[in-house]
Amino acid sequence: MHYCPNCNGHHSGSGTKLCDGYCKNVMRGCSAEFAGLLDSPWSSVVDALSNLVTTHILSDSGIINVIKQLQPKLSDAIMAAMNNSPDLEQK
């Protein structure tokens, strides 16, 4: 609301509260011209994120399954290091 022509930041020193609904309506009015311009690029961002999630995160070869497979491998590696600690210390 710093750039709102109705308060322009002066409301903070006056001690009066602005009407929340009025401020939201002013903000909607100020941003309405940009909504049409941003619709297509924003839809592209949403589509790309959706594709990222379905293709690279939730798929069988996605990061979630890769992380799940790491746990037993890390456990085995730690156990092997503990079992071979005397040999590892000498090296």
Q: Within a domain: residue 12?
A: yes
Residue 12 has a pLDDT of 56
**3-class DSSP string for 60-75:** CCCHHHHHHHHHHHHH
pLDDT-derived band at 74, boundaries 50, 70, 90: very high
Residue 8 has a pLDDT of 60
Domain hosting 25: range is 1-44
Q: Kind and range of the H or E element at 62?
A: none
Residue 48 has a pLDDT of 94
Q: Within a domain: residue 24?
A: yes
Q: Within a domain: residue 5?
A: yes
- Give the residue carrying structure tokens 């990061």: 63
Q: Within a domain: residue 59?
A: no
- What's the number of domains the chain is made of? 1
pLDDT at 59 over 70: yes
Residue 31 has a pLDDT of 81
Q: Within a domain: residue 71?
A: no
Tokens of 74: 């890390």
Rounded CA-CA distance 90/6 in Å is: 76
Q: Within a domain: residue 75?
A: no
Q: Within a domain: residue 80?
A: no
Q: Within a domain: residue 15?
A: yes
